[in-house]
A = this chain, B = another copy of it.
């Protein structure tokens, strides 16, 4: 399988040269996160991921999880790796020190989760879901709940889940059937069936804390009648230890296309004891705290798997000898040239590189916004960061996973026939990536969230929060000696973005279907424009470093070359998405449902 090396050079470039994480950490008062400390954490994290998690990735896929009478066994080595992860303090890295965490910035947690997800996506689901549960309890739990559950989750003694989906509903949570009946002692009896519950049952931790959406007996219909409950596998004792077994169980695990080492469980709750978290009937709000976290994490999976795929494809393209370069032999001493000499192989590699590194910049920018939304000194700064986060979260989730699927497919294609063979590991990356376009809200739902709720729902305000930044950048760099042409192209696209939004907004006033008709192409258009902006930010920095005669010229030159490739070969896709988003809903709504199959 492709080895994984954490791309620390690119990480350092982004956090030091492009986004100034040190300055940002100082501004939010994260004084522990000194550059030396950050560097040490990144290096230790990389070592753990490369040496402990990555070697379990292929075997985890082949073994899968085993289910036997309610007991789920994870693949060989998973349990030990989790113990090492907890032991190393990774689980609580960015968690609240009041409950056992180390209080480092959220963005640093995201950098570590990038390495975890890249080295072993399935394994990363267990801590990933736990972190989601931690944020929901931190935001909405009572002090007692935090003391008991958040502490145990932060310390990695217990793990967490999100129990939303039921057989009859995923997207449409308003029609869940799970019921919560109040008990005399203030707890609730939870009954119902949840499906697709990642990490719902496993052998990594002594207890599992389920966060379950359910309806109270008197709840209003629809999404305004959903409440959130903590339903632990084992009820905690008064001292916060593992106590009596709760009446819930795993009924089966799914057999899936990929992430086979992640246990996807059917969970049956049979009058299980649950504890309300947050206000009654406000469960969906609480759940969104988890989901926003999870959506960014899901977007990261696209980047993570794309990175591993690129590393594998690059190695193969340098090793595999096949045909001569069209311009004459490049390795005349060998039986054929390495395939990296062929333009079309380079097209695939550069598309992968351009999407990966662009997505990484987007992800780190977003991570920095999370820090600022939590920790900026001024309320206005926090609100601005929140606004940008709200806009960018669905784009991170959907665009980064769509491009992750493209990238992992390209990586497989570079391998030719070997790409299709399991032992080479490239096809697993495609299979593991594929779910990321579906779960945590399908990409279609993300697009509706972006265009309907965020952009049009704010009368364009959230969008202007970002296009204003792009506009200022273009003004500042409009006369850039090397990059002016690309800056002008970005400025045009940025203007088109606003104009397209206005046209859809106008059309939607007469016909709400216009939003759904345009949404996915709108999101993809947005993603390509955003990546163009980040590519230029990276290029401006790279050019400045070259002009200043900094060392590592090869790195900066590669950035500039990849930026040029992105503008010439990838960015033209905006034209197709713009035309499609502009095409109106008539051509998709005209055909009666009954006539799709005539």
Contact = CB atoms under 8 A, between A and B. Distances in A.
Contacts of A580: 568-569, 572
A509 interface: no
16 contacts: A172-B336, A175-B336, A257-B431, A258-B420, A318-B593, A327-B513, A342-B444, A353-B596, A409-B434, A413-B442, A416-B438, A416-B442, A420-B439, A561-B587, A561-B595, A572-B583
Given A558-B596, A572-B579, A580-B569, A438 B413 contact: yes
Contact of A568 (B427, B564, B583): B583
Given A323-B172, A345-B444, A575-B579, A434 B412 contact: yes
Contacts of A434: 409, 412, 420, 427, 430
A168 B168 CA distance: 51
A442 to B, nearest CB: 6
A588 B350 contact: yes
A31 interface: no
B593 A565 contact: no
Nearest to A337: B172
Nearest to A423: B255
A419 B438 contact: yes
Nearest to A346: B588
Interface string A328-351: 000000011010111111111110
A598 B554 contact: yes
A416 B445 CA distance: 11
A517 interface: yes
A565 B587 contact: yes
Interface string A562-598: 1011001100111110011001110111110111111
A256 interface: yes
A526 B513 CA distance: 32
A147 interface: no
Interface of A: 9, 165, 168-172, 175, 195-196, 254-258, 311, 314, 317-318, 321-323, 325-327, 335-336, 338, 340-350, 353, 405, 409, 412-413, 416-417, 419-423, 427, 430-431, 434-435, 437-439, 442-444, 447-448, 511-513, 515-517, 519-520, 552, 554-555, 557-558, 561-562, 564-565, 568-569, 572-576, 579-580, 583-585, 587-591, 593-598
Given A349-B596, A564-B590, A598-B555, A343 B572 contact: no
A388 to B, nearest CB: 25
A595 B516 contact: no
Contacts of A519: 343-344
A326 B561 contact: no
Nearest to A562: B591
Given A254-B421, A257-B431, A596-B558, A569 B591 contact: no
Nearest to A339: B171
A326 B512 contact: yes
Contacts of A515: 326, 343
A271 to B, nearest CB: 24
Contact of A576 (B256, B430, B516, B576): B576
A256 to B, nearest CB: 5
Nearest to A62: B255
Q: Which of A338, A557, A569, A589 has the largest number of chain B CB atoms within 10 A?
A: A569
Given A322-B171, A430-B257, A555-B598, A593 B340 contact: yes
A187 to B, nearest CB: 29
Contact of A520 (B338, B347, B517, B583): B347
B9 A598 contact: yes
B516 A342 contact: yes
Given A172-B323, A326-B516, A596-B340, A572 B576 contact: yes
Given A558-B598, A561-B591, A588-B343, A420 B435 contact: yes
B421 A589 contact: no
A448 B343 CA distance: 11
Nearest to A515: B326
A579 to B, nearest CB: 4
Nearest to A452: B326
A323 B448 CA distance: 13
Nearest to A573: B576
Contact of A169 (B322, B342, B513): B322
Given A257-B427, A327-B511, A413-B444, 13 more contacts: A170-B416, A175-B336, A255-B421, A255-B422, A326-B512, A409-B434, A413-B442, A413-B443, A552-B598, A557-B595, A562-B591, A568-B584, A568-B587
Contacts of A168: 321, 335
